[in-house]
Every structure is written in structure tokens, then in C-alpha cells.
Amino acid sequence: MTTEYVVMNEEAPDLSVIKRAGRIIKEGGLVAFPTETVYGLGGDALNPESSRKIYEAKGRPSDNPLIVHICRLEDIEPIVREIPPEAKKLAEAFWPGPLTMIFRKSSLVPKETTGGLDTVAVRFPSNKIAQALIDAAGGYIAAPSANRSGRPSPTLAKYCLEDLDGRVEMIIDGGQVGIGLESTIIDLTEDEPVILRPGFINKKMLQEVLGRVEVDSTLITPDSGIAPKAPGMKYRHYAPKGELVIIEGERDKVVSEINRAAGYNRAHGLRTGVICTDETRDLYDADCVKSAGPRGDEDSVARELFRILREFDDDGAERIYSESFSGGELGQAIMNRLMKAAGHRVVRTDEGETLHFK
Ligand code: TXA
Ligand code: MG
């Protein structure tokens, strides 16, 4: 199949192209499109065959459920069994926006879309292109992030093309996304609301609306051997081809540990990548030094992280070291992705840990 690539301005979506893209989805095809979090790989959420195609195009295990995207609040009713009062409050506070809620599903939603589960994840994105496309496609688009399984989620349309060329009918390029990390997922099907995936809408923001909010325990201690409640959270994800390690601690110690490693790598013919901030960039002596923005600007770090991880592959970085970004409001969401990308390898210089070279 040839993939059509269309550039579009979010402020003025080209409605004739949107209409055509909507028709592609209605007829069972796939379209990659921008959202405010990351690019999505969209198909008809109510058509089991479309969901099968999504799994195939992504190379994704079919037990990993898809998020159903809507563009009108009232469209939620036909696809869920009940709407808990918490959902109404959250929708009012955060929709349209980067929050996904889990409900018990109605029979309208095929099991193929929910990876065999009785629950369905629903999100109402704020991106105008996404909203127009969902409307044109009939109101329900199932969309995982538009990357091949295991790779970082695309924050630019060129990465959708890199991963999905020849596998989808159309890619809509709406520019760089605003947030850069996937939506927060909250489960509303149990007694207590539980965060299954941290994101831009953080625990504090959710607590302000709901009072008590739990965090899935596997996010806190990922090596506990218990399966995460969001099936996708158990898979290896985001990892660059090179080996990534997070170096934590006081700034000067982190810089000197990374430079020591870079020196060793250079002597052994290995290329070194570094993920840092504007403040530290000039302190590193390594092959590919990439700043995610000023340390105080978490939004920038979130937005640039997946791009940087992808760029290291093109640069041929074999050993990659990242500063830690656990400080602020977005710290949990950023570190959740970074820790996965690093396979949970962390060196805590504050505790006297050092890198071991081989
Ligand atoms: O920001 C986002 O959420 C993006 C954009 C495109 O909207 N989408 C996205 O989808 O990140 P995906 O498929 O890459 O991640 C969906 C996550 C997976 O970890 C999946 O296991 C979980 O949501 N999930 C989906 N339905 C679920 C359900 N019924 N119960 C528990 N987890 C669910
Ligand atoms: Mg994904």
C-alpha cells in the first residue's frame, strides 16, 4: 500500500482532506493523526477488523487494548455500561485533554478493540485535527500511539512515516505535538480511582477533583512481579538501540561520572550519547550531547524526550547516559518513560554508586 502524507495546520484543518481521511477509516483503513499528547494510529473502534489491522501495522501484541477516542461528551454513553460520578467530574475538569478514563464497556465495543477485556479506555483529545477526524470517521477512533511496538511514541509526523510507511493509508502531519508524553490513564471501574499510567494530568490535579486517588502499585515498584493493570505498561518500551543508563545525584557528580564514561567509551571506539539540560550541555565531552531544554522547564523535557531517544538511533549512539528529571510536577510521568527506556538501569551517585564498564 502507498501511504499518503498530508501536511495540515491545526488552526485551519483542511476539511476536504479530513473528510477523505474519515472515509478511509469508515471503510476499514488506517490514518495516523496528531493529538496533543503524541501521534495516534487511528482505525474504526467499532470494527473488529480495523483493530486487527492496527495490531498488525504496529506489530503489537493483541492482548494490549486500544484507547477509543471521541469528539463529543455525549458519545461516551453508547460505548460504556455506566458513567460513574467521578467520570463526570473528571470530564468537566480535563476534557477535551490528555486524560484517558477506563469504564466497563458496552456490547457495542468489540473485544478486539479492548484486547479481550470487559473494560474500555476512552479519551476526548483537544487537538482540533483529531476532533475533526474523529467526527468525520463516525465518532469512535481506536488509536494507540503511532509507533512500531516498542519504539518511542511519535511526537512528529516524520516518525510515523519512519515506522508506518506502507502500513497505513494516510499520515496527517499537524506539526510537533504540544505535550510529548501519552495521556494519563485512570481506572474508574474499581472502588477507588487508580492511576494506571502517569501523564501531564498528575496525581495532585486528579486529587483536587476527586479527593482520593491511588497509583497502580506496579508503577511504584516495577520489579514486584505483579502485572500492571494497563496491559501495555508491562512491555519493553521506548528503548533506543544503544544501552541507556540514568545517572542520578548532585549535578557535578553526575557530569563527572558521565564524562568519565564517555572517556572510557571513546578509548574503546564506542559512541556516547548524553541527555541533559541547557544548563549542563557545555559541561559534557561526548559524541552526541542533547539538551531537553532548561532544567526548570519540564514541559520542554516532556516534549523533547521521545524525539531525543529516536535521534540517538540515527546518530549510532552505543552508550547513552541521561540526567534524572524527577523533580517537578511532571517528574513521575517523565521518569516513568525514561526508566522504561533505560530498562530501569539507574546509577545513584549520591549513594556512592558508579558505572561499571565492560
Ligand atoms: O495519549 C495517548 O493516550 C495516545 C494518543 C494517541 O491518544 N495513545 C496511546 O495509546 O498512548 P497506546 O495504545 O500507546 O497506550 C494505551 C495504554 C496501553 O498501556 C494499554 O494497555 C492501556 O492504555 N489500556 C487501554 N485500554 C485499557 C483498559 N481497558 N484497561 C487497562 N488499560 C488499558
Ligand atoms: Mg504506545
Give 328's pLDDT tier (boundaries 50, 70, 90). confident
Query: How many CB atoms lie under 10 A from the CB of residue 357?
Result: 12
- Residue 252 and residue 210 share a domain: no
Tell me the ligand closest to 186's alpha carbon.
Answer: 1
pLDDT given at position 219: 84
In the chain, how many domains are there? 2
- Residue 177 and residue 266 share a domain: no
- Residue 143 and residue 59 share a domain: yes
- Residue 268 and residue 159 share a domain: no
User: pTM value?
Assistant: 0.96
The CB of 79 under 6 Å from ligand 1? The reply is no
Tell me the ligand closest to 67's alpha carbon.
Answer: 1
Domain range for 261 is 243-351
pLDDT given at position 20: 98
Residue 228 resides in a domain: no
- Residue 189 and residue 83 share a domain: yes
The CB of 143 under 6 Å from ligand 1? The reply is yes
Q: Tell me how far the alpha carbon of residue 350 lies from the centroid of ligand 1, in angstroms.
A: 35
Share of the chain above pLDDT 70, in %: 99
Strand residues in the chain grouped as ranges (E): 4-7, 31-33, 40-44, 67-69, 99-104, 119-123, 141-142, 170-173, 184-187, 194-197, 214-215, 243-248, 272-276, 288-291, 319-323, 346-348
The CB of 127 under 6 Å from ligand 1? The reply is no
- Residue 134 and residue 190 share a domain: yes
Residue 28 resides in a domain: yes
Of 215, 230, 252, the position where a domain reaches its end is: 215
Residue 356 resides in a domain: no
Q: Tell me how far the alpha carbon of residue 232 lies from the centroid of ligand 1, in angstroms.
A: 7
Q: Residue 209: is its pLDDT beyond 90? A: yes
Across all residues in the chain, what is the average pLDDT?
95
State how far the Cα of 225 lies from the Cα of 248, in Å rounded to an integer.
25
Q: Which of 101, 148, 182 maximizes ligand 1 atoms within 8 Å of its Cβ, making it the mutation to test the pocket?
A: 182
Contact 89, 209 (CB under 8 A): yes
- Residue 204 and residue 152 share a domain: yes
Q: What is the pLDDT of residues 79-128, one digit of tens each?
A: 999 999 999 999 999 999 999 999 999 999 999 999 999 999 999 999 99
pLDDT given at position 221: 73
Q: Write the CATH number for 247.
A: 3.40.50.11030
Of 215, 230, 251, the position where a domain reaches its end is: 215
Q: What is the pLDDT of residues 227-262, one digit of tens each?
A: 888 888 777 788 899 999 999 999 999 999 999 999
At 348, the amino acid letter reads: R
Residue 284 resides in a domain: yes
What lies within 8 Å, CB to CB, of 226 at 6+ separation is: 217, 218
Tell me the ligand closest to 150's alpha carbon.
Answer: 2
Q: Tell me how far the alpha carbon of residue 100 lies from the centroid of ligand 1, in angstroms.
A: 8
Q: What is the mean pLDDT of residues 20-33?
A: 98
Which residues place a Cβ less than 5 A from the ion ligand 2? 145
Q: Tell me how far the alpha carbon of residue 348 lies from the centroid of ligand 2, in angstroms.
A: 29
Nearest CA to ligand 1 atom 7: 40
pLDDT given at position 9: 97
The CB of 34 under 6 Å from ligand 1? The reply is no
Residue 82 resides in a domain: yes
Residue 223 resides in a domain: no
- Residue 264 and residue 208 share a domain: no
Tell me the ligand closest to 54's alpha carbon.
Answer: 1
Q: Residue 197: is its pLDDT beyond 90? A: yes
Rounded to whole angstroms, what are the CA distances from 156 to 92, 153, 334? 29, 9, 18
Q: What is the pLDDT of residues 168-182, one digit of tens each?
A: 999 999 999 999 999
Q: What is the pLDDT of residues 125-170, one digit of tens each?
A: 999 999 999 999 999 999 999 999 989 999 999 999 999 999 999 9
- Residue 89 and residue 173 share a domain: yes
Q: Write the CATH number for 167.
A: 3.90.870.10
Cell numbers that stand for 279 in this block: 544548563
- Residue 319 and residue 170 share a domain: no
- Residue 284 and residue 137 share a domain: no
- Residue 192 and residue 96 share a domain: yes
Q: Tell me how far the alpha carbon of residue 266 lies from the centroid of ligand 1, in angstroms.
A: 40
Residue 298 resides in a domain: yes
222-250 burial, b at 16+ Cβ within 10 Å, e below that, comes to beeeeebbbbbbbeebbbbebebbbbbbe
Q: Tell me how far the alpha carbon of residue 66 lies from the centroid of ligand 1, in angstroms.
A: 5
Residue 67 resides in a domain: yes
